Amino acid sequence: MNYQYTKQFRQALVQWFLEEQRDLPWRRTKEPYQIWVSEVMLQQTRVDTVIPYYNRFIEKYPTAESLAYSPEEELLKMWEGLGYYSRVRNLQAGVREVVEVYGGKVPDNRVDISKLKGVGPYTAGAILSIAYGKPEHAVDGNVMRVLSRVLNIDADIALPKTKKIFEQAVTELIDHENASSFNQGLMELGALICTPTSPKCLLCPVRDYCTAFHEGDPSSLPVKSKKLKTKNIEYDVYIIRDQQGRFLMEKRPQAGLLANMWQFIMIERQADENSLTKVEKQYNVTLEHNSKETILSFSHVFSHLKWHIDSYLVDAVETNANPENTAYFTKEQIANLPMPVPMLKIWGKINA
């Protein structure tokens, strides 16, 4: 790497971070397990959103041992609203391995920590540097954006192979005496100053050592090719209420999107099909068609998927044997079920 300001960049970044860092709950600890929890929550999720979830989660599961064997449904309920639920399943599996194989102590080296379920190169480096002070790279989108500008790297960050370039760059740049502050400084700089659009170069503590600032246009970097096209699916969602005032819920499959979460009855909309009649056949129920009441229409975006939802409240005249993975629940019982955000939105409207 042909960069002449390594020492100055390190010093300026670390000093800025130590003076200007945000007061975040996971920065008040060096406990590896708790830092691991925060890093998993922060994947794909905004800091402001994570803070209350992190505080509640650590209060309920303060140690690796307390999380390792907690019931999955309880765990999903604690995570409800954060999305990307495979994160918490993998976290629990990894933490259970720490308890069973490593006596409850999170490994302090990249080889062993990388064997844990759900711990990729970034999470491994974040835990090792922040909790243990090890000079290990922790490269995420923020870091790639900052260093693409500082070092004027025009490789496409959407390509997996490009990450290796940035991991090597961090390995060469990192402050061995202040690895924690260096890595967190890069992340903080990307979050607050070196933002995706309109970077605040005049406030940047490393502006004097930024190649793109002196040679070109920092906002033109990083180079990132277009993401996959979003798939759109239209659903009719039925909130079916039986004569006892209970509601029919269905548990999603054990694998895939929103695995094991509970939802109201979702039917993919087909142009030539009456979805209400399909519900009756598929879920062994007779519905009062005239009772159908529109609740809410909205869209919900996943990473490469968009649901377009029309939701309806409808009364059941007759209910028979429940199909597999379905059950009727009272309002009080539903409050304890883990549900995806679109279902919470509908349920909130019904209870408003």
What are the residue ranges spanned by the domains of the chain?
A: 3-220, 231-350
Question: In 10 A of CB 1, how many CB atoms?
Answer: 11
Per-residue pLDDT of the chain (352 residues), as tens digits, is 789 999 999 999 999 999 999 999 999 999 999 999 999 999 989 999 999 999 999 999 999 999 999 999 999 999 999 988 999 999 999 999 999 999 999 999 999 999 999 999 999 999 999 999 999 999 999 999 999 999 999 999 999 999 999 999 999 999 999 999 999 999 999 999 999 999 999 999 999 999 999 987 899 999 998 877 889 999 999 999 999 999 999 999 998 999 999 999 999 998 777 888 999 999 999 999 999 999 999 999 988 899 999 999 999 998 888 899 999 999 999 999 999 999 999 999 999 8
Instruction: Tell me the fold of 3-220.
Output: Endonuclease III; domain 1 (1.10.340)
39 among known catalytic residues: yes
Give the torsion sign (CA, 138, 141, 147, 152). positive
Active-site entry in 19, 20, 31, 39: 39
Spatial separation of the C-alpha atoms in residues 27 and 255, rounded to whole Å:
34
Question: Cα-atom radius of gyration of the chain, to the nearest Å?
Answer: 24
Alpha carbon dihedral 222, 223, 226, 228, in 10-degree steps, equals -70
Q: What is the helix, strand, coil percentage profile of the chain, to 5?
A: 45, 15, 40
pLDDT tens, position by position, 235-262: 999 999 999 999 999 999 998 999 999 9
- Residue 167's SS3 state is helix
Closest CA to 193 of 259, 135, 160, 145: 145
Return the CATH number of 231-350, one of 3.30.70.20, 1.10.10.60, 3.30.413.10, 3.90.79.10.
3.90.79.10
Q: What's phi and psi for 263, nearest 5 deg?
A: -140, 160
Spatial separation of the C-alpha atoms in residues 293 and 290, rounded to whole Å:
8
Task: State both tokens at 346.
Answer: 């509908």
Q: How far is CA 180 from CA 18, 22, 126, 246, in A?
A: 10, 15, 8, 52
Spatial separation of the C-alpha atoms in residues 155 and 184, rounded to whole Å:
23
Question: In 10 A of CB 81, how many CB atoms?
Answer: 15
278, 311 in Cβ contact below 8 A?
no
pLDDT tens, position by position, 102-118: 999 999 999 999 999 99
- Residue 40's SS3 state is helix
Task: Determine how β-strand 265-268 pairs with β-strand 285-287.
Answer: unpaired
Report residue 182 CA to chain centroid gap: 24
Q: At what angle do helices 121-132 and 179-192 cross, to 10 degrees?
A: 120
DSSP letter (8 states) at residue 333: H
Closest CA to 146 of 180, 186, 200: 186
Closest CA to 197 of 220, 225, 214, 213: 220
339, 262 in Cβ contact below 8 A?
yes
Spatial separation of the C-alpha atoms in residues 30 and 78, rounded to whole Å:
23
Strand partners of residue 236? 267, 310
- Is pTM, for the whole model, over 0.75? yes
Report residue 278 CA to chain centroid gap: 34
Cis bond before residue 222 (omega within 30° of 0):
yes
Closest CA to 241 of 331, 333, 310: 331
